[in-house]
Homo-oligomer: A and B are copies of this chain.
Amino acid sequence: MYGLLLGVRIVEGASFIAGPYCSLLLSQLGAEIIRFDAIGGSPDYRRWPLGPGGDSFYWEGLNKGKKSVALNLAMAEGRELAIAIVTTGGKDSGIFVTNYPESGFLSHDSLSKLRPDLVTAHVLGHADGTSAVDYTVNCGVGLPYMTGPQGTNRVPINHVLPAWDLLAGSTAAVSVLAAIEYRRRTGLGQLIRIPLSDVAAATLGNLGQIAEVAISGTDRPKYGNNLFGAFGRDFGCADGKRVMIVAITSKQWRAAIAALDLQSAISALEAELGMSLDSDEGARFLHRDRINAMVEQVVARYTLAALSQRLTSSGACFGVYRTVHEALTEDPSFVEANPIFAHVHHPSGCKYPTPGFPASFSGAARRDPSPAPVLGGDTEEVLTTLLRIPSAALASLHDRGVVRLADRPLSPR
């Protein structure tokens, strides 16, 4: 939480990851985020993982620090309230992050008639409007056929991190800030469309993987846990722990080889091959089987503690394989002693380590991360303060089921 974007107000009508993650980032930089939720919760309100009482840790994680207004969008009055919340306010408002249908009552076309300088960031599956989610995009861009053990090329392995959702969300956040800057200069609003599948295609292109296949005509096969194009793989220690050792630079390579006492064996290999494994990172990859066999033998002789000490003191680049539980309990720098985390009490009744913005700013004070909102917990404030709806009218809206005030108070379970 930083106050860099203080004064900016964003309205979110979005579920799942990409949209909510976009405004989460902007919220953590100081923007005010007002979400409107369906009464009873939007479609991601029960998304796993769940807490002991059935509340979604996923929803809490992606919506912390935001305000929640619960509206019945099946009623015309509910829809009008949503439209009013999106389009109201001064020059630092009128920013809408959404994954609602493009042609519905929340379309940029109809909203911008009411507020011409509106900036709408619309995250969607495919650019043509057809439905897609992270996992149906990922299967189409080749990565599951590159993941996992060598020799199993036609056995797809799905990723477990929804990387395209997250990248679409952060691309949306960059886009929104650029559009705000542009609006400040020109007064113009606009519709930004961020299709998951284009984020994926562009990313493969940015990493050279479209060129690789377009020019060579050949797909990259599975290389197991080997890092592509240089040295890097997982190795097992004497005590059963595993490490990932990587050398993408000459410096990292020399450090790894020195830590493992492999200088003379590597020199002999270089002489045999007539190649420099130091200056040519690609040669490290081409001859990975020879190198890996040597490294494997050495690593297997050391416990993780002894190996870590050697690798660290020589300046090698490595990491230890851990489960989340191991990371939480064995490494204070991961979460417990990490200044980006704080123990926050959420509406689920659970108190747990909650991250703030992962970057730090020397010129702005970090504030503790906020809890997720109670569903509808900000309905009253937003309707009375922002839309200036009198209390009597609010009570009537509530009684008629157009809006819902807080589902429950925020109290410890």
Contact = CB atoms under 8 A, between A and B. Distances in A.
Interface stretch (A74-82, A266-274, A360-368): A360-368
A52 B215 contact: yes
A301 interface: no
B361 A179 contact: yes
B281 A47 contact: yes
B136 A318 contact: yes
A160 interface: yes
Contacts of A160: 143, 146-147, 228
Contacts of A145: 321-323
Contacts of A220: 49, 324
A88 interface: no
19 contacts: A16-B248, A24-B206, A25-B174, A59-B208, A127-B339, A130-B312, A140-B331, A141-B322, A142-B326, A147-B159, A147-B160, A156-B234, A159-B161, A163-B163, A170-B174, A192-B362, A193-B362, A202-B340, A206-B355
A322 B140 contact: yes
A218 interface: yes
A298 interface: no
Given A21-B206, A46-B282, A178-B177, A319 B5 contact: no
B234 A204 contact: no
A66 B14 CA distance: 35
Contacts of A250: 43
B234 A132 contact: no
Contacts of A163: 159, 161, 163, 166-167
Given A139-B244, A208-B57, A319-B132, A193 B229 contact: no
A189 interface: yes
A142 B215 contact: no
B218 A363 contact: no
A203 interface: yes
Nearest to A199: B358
Nearest to A128: B333
A254 to B, nearest CB: 13
Contacts of A375: none
Interface in A158-178: 158-163, 166-167, 170-175, 177-178
Contacts of A158: 147, 224-225, 227, 234, 244
A26 B173 CA distance: 12
Interface string A184-213: 000011111111011101111111111111
Nearest to A317: B131
Given A51-B211, A142-B323, 11 more contacts: A2-B178, A48-B230, A49-B220, A108-B362, A132-B319, A133-B248, A139-B321, A149-B157, A177-B177, A177-B178, A179-B363
Interface string A121-140: 00001111011110111111
Copies in the complex: 2
Interface in A264-319: 280-282, 285, 312, 315, 317-319
Contact of A47 (B159, B201, B230): B230
Contact of A148 (B157, B189, B228): B157
A214 B353 contact: yes
A338 interface: yes
A4 interface: yes
Contact of A135 (B181, B319, B327): B319
B140 A193 contact: no
Nearest to A360: B193
Contacts of A210: 61, 324, 328, 335, 352-355
B214 A328 contact: yes
Contact of A142 (B128, B170, B234, B327): B327
Nearest to A312: B130
